[in-house]
Chain A
Amino acid sequence: MTAEIVYPTLDEYAARVDALAKKYGRDFWWQLSLEQMDDEDRFEFSFIKECLWDDLIRHECEVGSVDIGEPPGQALLFSTQDKPGSSPGLSFCMEVLFERPRVRRPHSSLYR
């Protein structure tokens, strides 16, 4: 057995959380909860929640901003919350819901 030190990218983890969302029947990865996961996924998602959540949220917004556009008469508004919400790192909320195509990401090489 050998060990390899790897430096995964956020793209790889974004693909991973999308795969988890699909596995557990959620539309979006930020709707996932530890309680619904099996032991194998729970530890990994716990790491994602504690250590990567803010980065992934930022990444999602950056990637999403390319796709969103701005339909006439409908702007995307963000506002701060008085208190932290149930999702760590998600300190803003969208006042106008918007639909955008799911971002298609390359398959993660982490799990090959």
Chain B
Amino acid sequence: MNVHEYADLIHRCIGSCQFIENPPHYVTKLRVFTNPDRFYWSDVLLLHNDLCLKVEDSARFSGDEMTIRNFSYDLRRRSAPRRLIWRIDSHSDWHPISDPCHIHINPDNDDERLEFFKNSQGINFLYVMHCLKNQYENKPQEWEVK
């Protein structure tokens, strides 16, 4: 997946996402830079049932592949005390896609992490949409069943 395909994937995911709260309506900007290919997206998506997803997603690409990333997908309650539900991240730093990334699931200690993902390949916004779907359908997440 190259940078244009990744931006387009997110564009389509957002356009068809049934969990996003409609009003207020606003536009989220996905920034794409070419030659070399780079991607940047930072946003907060307001979701149904008092949830919000904070997205920080940035990457360098080489041709059809992401090579290095810095990302965080943080799902939590919107109302105080804004308790964490889960956060998948690269710990606020740039790492090659082959490096492990983490999941945080302890609402009482946001920093506590579970070393679950062997690498960040495939841990993209499409995967986050899959996790959101599980959340809304009360299905277990991948890290809860393994």
Contacts and interface: CB of A to CB of B under 8 A. Distances in A.
Contacts of A6: 29-32
A46 B94 contact: yes
A36 to B, nearest CB: 15
Contact of A47 (B32, B45, B70): B70
Given A5-B32, A6-B31, A43 B56 contact: yes
B126 interface: no
Interface residues on B, range: 20 to 34
B70 A4 contact: no
B14 interface: yes
B11 interface: yes
Contact of B10 (A3, A43, A44, A50): A3
B60 interface: yes
Given A1-B14, A5-B32, A51-B60, A44 B27 contact: no
Interface stretch (B18-26, B79-87, B130-138): B18-26
A4 B28 contact: yes
B28 A2 contact: yes
Interface in A76-97: none
Interface residues of A, number: 17
B15 A3 contact: yes
A3 B30 contact: yes
A50 B93 CA distance: 10
A80 B66 CA distance: 31
Interface of B: 7-8, 10-11, 14-15, 17, 20, 22, 25-34, 38, 40, 42, 45, 56, 58, 60, 68, 70, 72, 92-94
Given A1-B22, A2-B15, A47-B58, 6 more contacts: A3-B29, A5-B7, A42-B92, A43-B92, A47-B40, A52-B38
Interface of A: 1-8, 42-44, 46-47, 50-52, 110
